[in-house]
Amino acid sequence: MDEIDKFKKIKEQSEKRWEHITLDSCYGFQIQEGSKWKEGLTDSQINSFEEEMGFSFSETLRNYYKVMNGLDKPGINVYGYSDVPFAYQPKFYSYPDDVGLIKEYINWIFDANNTNYDKLKEIGASRIFPIYGHRFMLLDTPGNPILSMHGDDIIYWSRDIFQLLDIDIFNKSGDRMKDADEIINKIEFWL
């Protein structure tokens, strides 16, 4: 099965899962019941997205956006059903709606780690791109592994976007650390 077909299958299965999902009484953003993926982007739209970001995407990221482009409902934080008003923000980022937020998150990670695109290029470290919450894809590392990046608190999360989606949509962590040592050795700067 090629990447496009894998993304289509995940899209179908996740929308079915979200049809009747109930919110947990926890803190943190959750997917709302009935959420659906927005229509994927055309090659022309992805080219515009890349141009606006100022860099090229990996083939896997392009394929992801061809099928899925964020959700039609924002994530919701119910704050444990306390007296705090609910908050809303995107869980999966879309184009063009979330370009400002995507750039803001990248810059936040850069600032927290005292780096920028020029420094990354100079030392051969991978560029980053947020996919879901604070899960970032490493664009220049083979396989495009995912890191959980919250400021300078950075940990390995998954070997690729497919494992990320299994973990964060379907709660299937499996053996997410199986290939971690091999991958971690390739991304020393970020970890």
Span 132-144, pLDDT tens digits: 999 999 999 999 9
Q: So what's the pLDDT on residue 188?
A: 78
In a domain, 180, yes or no: yes
The answer to whether position 89 is within a domain reads yes
| Residue 44 pLDDT exceeds 80 | yes
CATH of the domain at 80: 3.40.1580.10
What's residue 177's pLDDT? Answer: 74
Looking up tokens 């791109």 gives 129
Q: Which pair of tokens denotes residue 155?
A: 């940990």
pLDDT at 32: 96
Q: Do 77 and 87 touch, CB atoms closer than 8 A?
A: yes
Does residue 38 register a pLDDT over 80? Answer: yes
* Mean pLDDT rounded to a whole number for the chain: 93
Average pLDDT over residues 50-78: 97
Amino acid making up residue 26: C
Q: State mean pLDDT over 10-19.
A: 98
Q: Write the pLDDT tens digit of every residue in 142-186.
A: 999 999 999 999 999 999 999 999 999 998 877 777 777 777 777
Q: Alpha-carbon dihedral of residues 111, 65, 191, 156, nearest 10 degrees?
A: 140
Total number of domains in the chain: 1
The size of the chain, in residues, is 191
H or E, element range at 76: strand 75-77
Residue 19: CB atoms within 10 Å: 10
Task: Give the pLDDT confidence score for residue 175 in this predicted structure.
Answer: 74
Does the structure show a pLDDT above 80 at 1?
A: no
Give 36's pLDDT tier (boundaries 50, 70, 90).
very high
7 within a domain of the structure (yes/no): yes
pTM for this structure? 0.92
Write out the residue range of the structural domain in which residue 173 sits: 3-186
191 inside domain: no
- Percent of the chain scoring above 70 in pLDDT: 99
Yes or no: say if 7 and 162 are a contact pair by the CB < 8 Å rule. no
**Is 126 within the bounds of a domain?**
yes
Strand, helix or coil for residue 173 = coil
Cα dihedral angle (169, 125, 67, 108), rounded to 10 degrees?
70
Which neighbouring-strand residues pair with 149?
154
Q: How many CA within 13 A on the CB side of residue 127?
A: 14
* pLDDT confidence of residue 189: 85
83 belongs to a structural domain:
yes
Task: Report cis status (omega within 30 of 0) of the bond before 96.
Answer: yes
The answer to whether residue 76 is domain-embedded is: yes
Tell me, yes or no, whether 129 lies in a domain.
Answer: yes
Buried b (16+ CB within 10 A) or exposed e, 118-134: eebeeeebbbbbbbbbb
Residue 184 C-alpha from the chain's centroid: 18
pLDDT in tens, 100-132: 999 999 999 999 999 999 999 999 999 999 999
